[in-house]
Structure 1
Amino acid sequence: LAEGARQRDRKRNRVIVSAIEHDSILDNLPLLRAAGFTVDLVKPCRMGYIEPATLVELLGDDVALVSIMVANNETGVVQPIRELAAATHTVGALFHTDAIQGYLHIPLDVTELGVDAMSVAAHKIGGPVASGALYLKSRTPLRPRIFGGGQEAGRRAGTQDLRTQLAFAAAASSLTPHVAQERAKLQALSDKLYATLTAHPRIHATMGDYAQADRLPGMVSIYVDGMDSEELIVKLDAAGFEVSAGSACSSGSMDPSHVLSAMGIGREQALGALRISFDDRVNPDDLDEFAQTLLSIAGAA
């Protein structure tokens, strides 16, 4: 997308992405720099979303592309995409959003959002792994990355795997009518879990006031003072609960999550982060049992 925009207007040699993107975006930044682009990172506010005013400060007529995700995969915080895309378009730049984490978990309408491109994937909605889709608005410039055939109108060479695409479409079709209903159900469960856990003085919602945050349903993001993620995961696993850490283990040493660091959360707190996720198949009693188990692990204040 960035190269397509630059081919159309040679002065557009700058790309802006949020500091909380998934590695599938961030790991491409060295390739953009190698291709002659300048890359700027826009940081979120303390609640975990990109404020439109913060993006506006970075925008200019040399920007080719802005890429900001629909919802963060660690915190679940939903970004104000419509406002961010509108601000981007005032300088004539393209706007892409990685919607993989939020797709069919919250209502998404590309026309309403006003984006030029949107990425989605099947595995986040119960479809087949390695199947995805890219929405492109009409006349959006795109320079191909894979060559060798005329498939997809020259945008991506290679014979398509029709079976996985049909499976993706089937999963999407079955979920689409129920998005609003499932969101309300899971939001109520996550609100209850947040309230139960954060009543403990050592457990905190990563975005601060969770009740004021626009969040994905079925995702609870916390950190526990004085404990690290790996210790919590091992103890919860022994009790029969599977959760993930908000920080990644690299070369045998714990590094804090780049998302939580960008939000201004300190290293020690970020190293005690957990992401608790569930879908419509969850048993509410299991969530209650999980909460009591984690409270017991956190211990007395």
Structure 2
Amino acid sequence: MIYVDNNATTRLAEEVAQALAEAYATGYLNPSSQHQLGQKARRRLDDARETILNLVGGEITKFQSDRLVFTSGGTEANNLALFGLGKPSDGQVIISAIEHPSISEAADQLRAQGTTVRQLPVDSNGVVQYEELGNWLTEPTRLVSVMLANNETGVLQPVSEIAAICRHRQVPLHVDAVQGIGKIPVNFRSLQASAMTISPHKFHGPRGIGALVLDDRVKLNPTMFGGSQQLAMRPGTESVELAIGFQKALELALTALPTAGLRMQSQRDRLETSLLGELGPEAMVINGAQALRLPHTSNLAFPGIDRQALVMALDMAGVACSTGSACASGSSEPSPTLIAMGLNEEVISGSIRLSLSRETTEEEIDKLVFHISNCVKRLRRR
């Protein structure tokens, strides 16, 4: 099976599996326990936390103390940011029109509770248009949340420009960086964000753990209660083993990044160019092609072809891909991201997502071109 659905999740790296096995074999106990065995677990957990924080550009010095809160994954971290950052009494929350469901649906809940939620629009390439943001921030604003890179199109967003506006107005900015880590250089301090979400299962790490990185000046209100773990910001017994797996996966991803990023971009470009050559530009559209994109993500539209029929045909041919966000894959509804981009109905209904990884081979790219072109031609004849 050729696996090109890495924006949904990645295969666990062998080195990470080994690190997890060793951690479980060590028999770490509850890191909140006061006895020696508990404190041994606490030291290892704190070491993993500090290492991860440093690797993503957080700082711990005598002048600065950024924090990293472990969660059950990216979805919980995004929810924690939306519900926990800023003063609850403050007014509106601003997100973009192309956020992951863990942001957009959390915002729907805030709206149902009486919070004003506004959406920044995007252009036809899926780039957030932030020109009106400064005017919007004249109203009391609790939080702005904009993703670093879109999970469906891979399009990079103008986070630095948005951060500058937010800093000027002293409004917290949260960045969902889940899809960016391990594919492009990401530095929390350089982003100038107040909070950032990361999740290791997107870079060959374990599922069931994620993190919210916090600037030292930001107050986070808990959304769960019942314990004092993680300064009571996210109570519950932490998994030392998953934190170790998280650390190992991040170390591997950042070590591989300089070569893996270039290789994935070369493979993606060859895939798109080859398919255009096989099918012709009138039969295939690359969504977001004119914008800067993650090196491994390709959102392709085949006008006149039903996206779900194509994904099923490819699955039968031995290719695992998707129509969009895995968190919405059970739905037959069209992509909110592509709708927000203003694309026509034929493009939206014929779009699939291909997402490579550092494990993708040249041979797999050649097979992908063969299977996709064959399936598209066969469906078109029908």
Shift of 1:61: 4.3
Q: How far apart are the structure 2 equivalents of 1:129 and 1:250? A: 20
Q: Tell me, yes or no, if structure 1 residue 285 matches structure 2 residue 285.
A: no
Tell me the alpha carbon deviations over residues 206-258 of structure 1, each in whole angstroms, 9 at most, x when there is no partner: 11xx2x4211122111110100111111221222111111385667xx32100
Q: Tell me, yes or no, if structure 1 residue 71 matches structure 2 residue 152.
A: no
- Describe how 1:145-164 pairs up with structure 2 within 5 A: 145-164=223-242
Aligned residue type for 1:33 = R
Which of residues 179, 198, 219 in structure 1 aligns to 2:276? 198
Deviates more, 1:28-37 or 1:196-205: 28-37
Shift of 1:54: 4.3
Q: How far apart are the structure 2 equivalents of 1:244 and 1:270? A: 14
SS for the counterpart of 1:255 is coil
Partner of 1:89: 167
Which of residues 332, 335, 338 in structure 2 aligns to 1:257? 335
Tell me if the contact between 2:84 and 2:223 (Cα under 8 Å) persists in the aligned partners: no
- Describe how 1:100-139 pairs up with structure 2 within 5 A: 100-139=178-217
Tell me the alpha carbon deviations over residues 51-78 of structure 1, each in whole angstroms, 9 at most, x when there is no partner: 3324334332411110011111111111
SS for the counterpart of 2:117 is strand
Moved over 4 A (4+): 1-4, 247-251
Aligned residue type for 2:366 = D
Shift of 1:6: 2.3
RCO higher in 1 or 2 (8 Å CA, sep ≥ 6)?
2
Tell me the alpha carbon deviations over residues 67-98 of structure 1, each in whole angstroms, 9 at most, x when there is no partner: 01111111111112111111122222110011
Q: How far apart are the structure 1 equivalents of 2:211 and 2:351? A: 31
Partner of 1:238: 316
- Describe how 1:142-221 pairs up with structure 2 within 5 A: 142-199=220-277, 200=280, 201-207=282-288, 210=289, 212-221=290-299
Q: Which structure's residues are more often strand, by fraction?
A: 1
Tell me the alpha carbon deviations over residues 118-170 of structure 1, each in whole angstroms, 9 at most, x when there is no partner: 01011111111110111000120211101111111121111111110111011
Q: Tell me, yes or no, if structure 1 residue 226 matches structure 2 residue 304.
A: yes
Specify the structure having the higher radius of gyration (Cα). Answer: 2
Q: How far apart are the structure 2 equivalents of 1:107 and 1:51? A: 23
Q: How far apart are the structure 2 equivalents of 1:151 and 1:72? A: 32
Any unmatched runs of 5+ in structure 2? Answer: 1-80
Tell me if the contact between 1:52 and 1:87 (Cα under 8 Å) persists in the aligned partners: no
Aligned residue type for 1:27 = E
Q: How far apart are the structure 2 equivalents of 1:286 and 1:73? A: 22
Tell me if the contact between 2:97 and 2:120 (Cα under 8 Å) persists in the aligned partners: yes
Q: How far apart are the structure 2 equivalents of 1:120 and 1:250? A: 24
Q: How far apart are the structure 1 equivalents of 2:253 and 2:368? A: 27
SS for the counterpart of 2:169 is coil
Partner of 2:374: 296
Q: How far apart are the structure 2 equivalents of 1:250 and 1:280? A: 27
Structure 1 vs Structure 2: percent identity of aligned residues?
33
Q: How far apart are the structure 2 equivalents of 1:249 and 1:141? A: 34
Question: Alignment length, in residue pairs?
Answer: 293
> Normalized against structure 1, the TM-score is what?
0.91
* CA spacing shift, 1:80–1:159, aligned 2, 3 Å: same
Shift of 1:266: 2.0
Partner of 1:5: 86
Any unmatched runs of 5+ in structure 1? Answer: none
Deviates more, 1:118-127 or 1:83-92: 83-92
* CA spacing shift, 1:188–1:28, aligned 2, 3 Å: same
Shift of 1:280: 1.6
> Normalized against structure 2, the TM-score is what?
0.72
SS for the counterpart of 2:212 is strand
When the two chains are superposed, the root-mean-square deviation of aligned CA atoms in Å is: 2.0
Aligned residue type for 2:182 = L
Shift of 1:30: 2.9
Tell me if the contact between 1:190 and 1:220 (Cα under 8 Å) persists in the aligned partners: yes
SS for the counterpart of 1:88 is helix
Aligned residue type for 1:58 = W
Deviates more, 1:280-289 or 1:89-98: 280-289
Shift of 1:273: 0.7
